Each structure stands twice: as structure tokens, then as C-alpha cells.
Amino acid sequence: MRGESDRFGGSEIVSVMSPSDRPETKRFVGYSTDEEV
């Protein structure tokens, strides 16, 4: 998962770790982990 998120940006990884903190990042994880893989 970290590798996939790394493509968007190193700082994005932190946001992905805490989707609750940013609802907009939540969709990032959803399409990044499901769609990509």
C-alpha cells in the first residue's frame, strides 16, 4: 500500500494513513488500493 501511495507523493502517505483526518483523502485510498490493485 505504501508503494502505491508513494506515487502520489511522499507527504500523501501520511494523509492516507489517517483518512479520518481528511475525508478527501479517503477516496484516494479507496481507488488507490482497490482500483489500482
- Per-domain boundaries in the chain: 2-35
Helices (H), 1-37: 2-6, 10-17, 23-30
What pLDDT was estimated at residue 37? 47
Q: Where on the phi/psi map is residue 26: left (φ > 0), alpha (ψ -120 to 50), or beta?
A: alpha
The pLDDT of 15-31, averaged and rounded, is 55
Measured between alpha carbons, how far is residue 1 from residues 10, 25 in Å?
13, 14
What pLDDT was estimated at residue 23? 57
pTM: 0.12
Residue 24 has pLDDT above 50, yes or no: yes
CA 19/CA 13 separation, integer angstroms: 10
CA 22/CA 37 separation, integer angstroms: 22
What pLDDT was estimated at residue 20? 58
